[in-house]
Amino acid sequence: MSEPSDEDLMSAIAEGDQKAFNLLTSRHLKMVYAIALQRLKHPSDAEEVAQDVFTRLWQNAPKWEAEAKISTWLYRVCVNRSIDMLRRRKPMTDIEDVPEIPDGADNALQTLETKDRKRQIEEALGNLTSEQRDAIQLVYFFEMRQQEAADSLGLSLAALESLLRRARKKLHTVLNKNYEELY
C-alpha cells in the first residue's frame, strides 16, 4: 500500500485525524526545524517556531485549500515566524559564537584538516544570503523537488538554479581556490 500524500493527510487532519497529523509532522518537522534553526541559531527558539508552525497547520487544516503544496506553506510560515521571533528577541550573547575548543583526543592531522574545512564551510554558509541557505537546505538536504523548492522560495526554476549556482560558487571559493580555473 502506497504512502498517503500530504494532501490526503491534510484532508484527514481537517476531519480531526490525529494520526494523520502525527505522520505529516514527522515528514516535515526536520525541514521546518532546520530552516528555523538556520535563522535563529538557538535550538530552543527553533523548537518554539516549529511547534507554532505545526499548531497553525492543525488549527487551519479545515480552511486548507489544495492549491498550494504543504511544504511550500510550511516553509513560508516558518520563515515568517522566525523573522517575527528575531524581531522580538532581545540582544544576547550567542553561546554558539564562542569558538569550539579542540577535543584533546582528536588530534590526528587529518581529523583537524576535516574539522577545519567543515568549520570554514560552516562560516561560509553563514555568509550566504538566507535565500541561498534555504535553497541549499531544501534542495540538497531535504531533497525537495526543484519546482517545489522554487515555489516555496517564490522563484522561477531558472532563478532557483542561478541562486544555487551562486551559493555553491561562494562555498567552493572556501574549499578550492581553482573554481574559476575549472569553470
Smallest distance from other proteins to CB 146, Å: 5
Cβ nearer to other proteins, comparing 31 with 87: 31
d(C-alpha 74, C-alpha 10), whole Å: 12
Smallest distance from other proteins to CB 152, Å: 16
d(C-alpha 58, C-alpha 18), whole Å: 9
Cβ nearer to other proteins, comparing 89 with 119: 119
Smallest distance from other proteins to CB 137, Å: 8
**Virtual CA dihedral for 137, 45, 49, 36, nearest 10 degrees?**
-10
Burial of 42 from C-beta contacts in 10 A (0-12 / 13-18 / 19+)? middle
Instruction: State the residues that interact with other proteins by CB under 8 A.
Output: 14, 16, 18, 21-22, 25-26, 29-30, 33-34, 37, 47, 50-51, 54-55, 57-63, 65, 114, 117-118, 121-122, 125, 136, 139-141, 143, 146, 157, 161-162, 164-165, 168-169, 171-172, 175-176, 182-183
Q: How many CB atoms lie within 10 A of CB 119?
A: 13
Smallest distance from other proteins to CB 52, Å: 9
